[in-house]
Amino acid sequence: MRAIAVLLSALGCWLGLMMFQPASAQVRNFDSIIAAGVIKVAVYQDFPPYSFQVDGQSRGVDVELATALAKALGVRLELMWAPPGEKLDDDLRDLIWRGNQLRGQQLADLMMRVPYDKDYTQKRNDVGELENDHVVMFGPYQTERWQVAFDRRRLDAVPSVAIFAKHPIGVEVDSVPSFYLTSIFNGEFGPSTHHFPTVSQAFAAMHEGQVDAVMAMRGEVDWQLHQAHDEQWAMAENAYPNMGRQTWEIGMAVHESNRQLAYAVEDALETLIREGQVQRIYAAYGMRYDVPEMYQ
C-alpha cells in the first residue's frame, strides 16, 4: 500500500507540474497564414541598415524586402522585432521552432537574415545530432562581405591591413573584425584596434578623429558612408589574409514543417530579384547589391 501511495503522490506532483508548463508554441502552416491574411516576420531590432526604426517608422532593407514578399503573397506584414541572442542557434530556437516565454511563446512564420550556408545547416552537436533540424534555411537574397572604410584626411590609402599597425581602426565589440584584427600577426594590431558598442559609434569616432578607419560588414559600411555624405571617407580594396571566409550569403528561415511557405517565398523572391526590385531597395539605402549565385 505504501508503494502505491508513493506512486500516486509522485504522479500527482508530475501532473501538477505539467499544469504549470507553458503551452507549446504553435507553427502556422501556409494555408493558415493565407487564411489569416497576415505573415509574421522576425527581424533584428536596432540593426541599421537592415532593420531599425526612426520616429516609430520601420525601416531597413530587410523590412522593405519582407514588405514586398508579403505583398507578393497577398497578405499583410506583421513584424516581430527580436534582440539578437548570444548565438544564431538561440535565435532560431526562440523565433522559429520552440518559442520564448518572454514573448508568450509566439513564433514567427519567417525569419530574415540567417546564413544560407550548407556547413552551418549540417552542423551537429556533441552526440552527432543536427543542431538545427527543426529549421529550413533557404532563399539567399544578399551577398555580404567584410569591408574597411577610411578617412583620406589621415590615410592616403589602405594597401593592406599592415597599415593598421600604426593607424587606429574602429570595430564593433565581439565582432569578427574585432577577433581578426586582435589575433592576426601575433596580435600586432591589438593596441591600435579600438572597440565600440556599435558600428555607428565606430564611424562617429572616425568622424571625431579618434580612429582613421572602420572595419564592418559591407552593408553597414555602405549605409554609414551614404548617411555621412563625407567626400573624404573612402572604401578600401585590401584583402584580409588568414581570415577564412570573407564572403557569404544571407537568406531566410522557416520551421521545417513549413516548406510550402518556403517554396512560395522563394518563388516571390526570385521574381523580385529578376525584376530589379531588390536592387532598388538596396540602392535606396546607398548599398551595393550583388545578386546571389542561385539567381545568376
Nearest-angstrom CA–CA distance, 207 and 169: 12
Q: What pLDDT is attached to residue 10? A: 40
Q: Do 175 and 200 meet the contact criterion of CB atoms below 8 Å apart? A: no
Q: Distance from CA of residue 136 to its chain's centroid?
A: 15
Question: How do residues 163-173 score in pLDDT, each as one tens digit?
Answer: 999 999 999 99
Of residues 106 and 174, the one with the higher pLDDT is 174
Contacts of 140 (CB under 8 A, 6+ apart): 116, 249, 250, 251, 292, 293, 294
Which CATH number describes the domain made up of 25-143+247-295? Answer: 3.40.190.10
Which residues belong to CATH 3.40.190.10 in the chain? 25-143+247-295, 145-235
What CATH architecture applies to the domain 145-235? 3-Layer(aba) Sandwich (3.40)
Question: How do residues 12-51 score in pLDDT, each as one tens digit?
Answer: 444 443 443 444 578 999 999 999 999 999 999 999 999 9
Contacts of 184 (CB under 8 A, 6+ apart): 161, 241, 242, 243
Q: Distance from CA of residue 59 to its chain's centroid?
A: 15
Which of 157-161, 227-231, 242-246, 266-270 is least confident? 242-246
Nearest-angstrom CA–CA distance, 241 and 22: 49
Question: How do residues 103-154 score in pLDDT, each as one tens digit?
Answer: 565 899 999 999 998 777 767 676 556 667 889 999 999 999 999 999 999 9
pLDDT band at 92; cut points 50, 70, 90: very high
